[in-house]
Every structure is written in structure tokens, then in C-alpha cells.
Amino acid sequence: MRKVFLSVVALNLAALGAFAADTATQAVEKRISEFVAAWNRHDPKEMASFMLRDGDLINPFGQWAKGRDEVAKLWAEEQSTVMKAPTATTDAITVRTPAPNVAVADWDVTISGMTAPDGSVMPAMKVHATFVWLKKDGRWSIMAGRPMLPASPPGAAPR
């Protein structure tokens, strides 16, 4: 009887852990959607509000900003030039929760509507982003962001 009781307790704890992971996944996916909406409004200050004060970002062009204020400056620069008009569409999101207050989110984004310096419309750009999210004070915030432009393997046709 004791083994049955312990088995039931263990199953319930496992189910509770799975529920917590699902809840975290949903919460992070919601935050990603909110972040993309801020990006589409071209609001670097709002975008930076998703960052932890000591969070950091390495953008697809290799620029590294450390701390919310530097990230805000980097996004302001991007959003005032080539990224001032395009929109981002999230194609796929995968969230893993290695700890109750930590999530690693990978998502694919298509950025459309960029214009070149000569005013011509550029082709859509596919970006992959990996962001580490930390739940602090009940809120999921970006600890580290690593959006990147996937490169073609050596010898392969360009993507």
C-alpha cells in the first residue's frame, strides 16, 4: 500500500512539473509575441523594457550591447535606419525550461519590407533568434538575446 501511495504522489509531482513547464512555455511565448509587436511598432524603448537591467544582446551583425540602456541604443540605431519600416513575423517558437525560472526560446522570424539605402525594397530576411528568459519578480524578461542570420554551408548555394 505504501508503494502505491508513493507512486501516486510521484506521478502527481511529475504532472505538476509538466504543468509548470507548460505554463512557463505559454508565458514566454506570450512575451515573445509582445516583444515582436513592440519591434513592429519600431519602439526601441519598449523593446528594451523586455530586457533585464544587466541583460545583453549580440545582434545579427555582431554588435554586442551590454545592459538595458546599451541595448536600447543599439535598437534605436537599427530602428532608425534599415529596420525603420519592416515588419517581423514569427514563424516558429520552441521554448525549453531547464529550471522553473529559466527559459530558452528559439524562434524563427521573417523580416519583410526593408529598404536599401537607394530606396529599393530588399528581399525578406530569415532570422533565427535564441533568447534566454529569466522569471524575476513574477515577470519573464530577456537575460541574453542572440538573433542571427543563418549562413549557407561552405560550397552550398546562398540562402
Give CA–CA dist 82/22, Å, rounded: 37
pLDDT band at 159 (very low <50, low <70, confident <90, very high): low
What's the topology of domain 2-148?
Answer: Nuclear Transport Factor 2; Chain: A, (3.10.450)
Using alpha carbons, select from 108, 97, 100 the residue that is nearest to residue 132: 97
What are 72's three cell numbers?
536600447
For position 156, what pLDDT does the model report? 76
Which residue ranges make up each domain of the chain? Answer: 2-148
Q: Is residue 8 pLDDT above 60, yes or no?
A: no
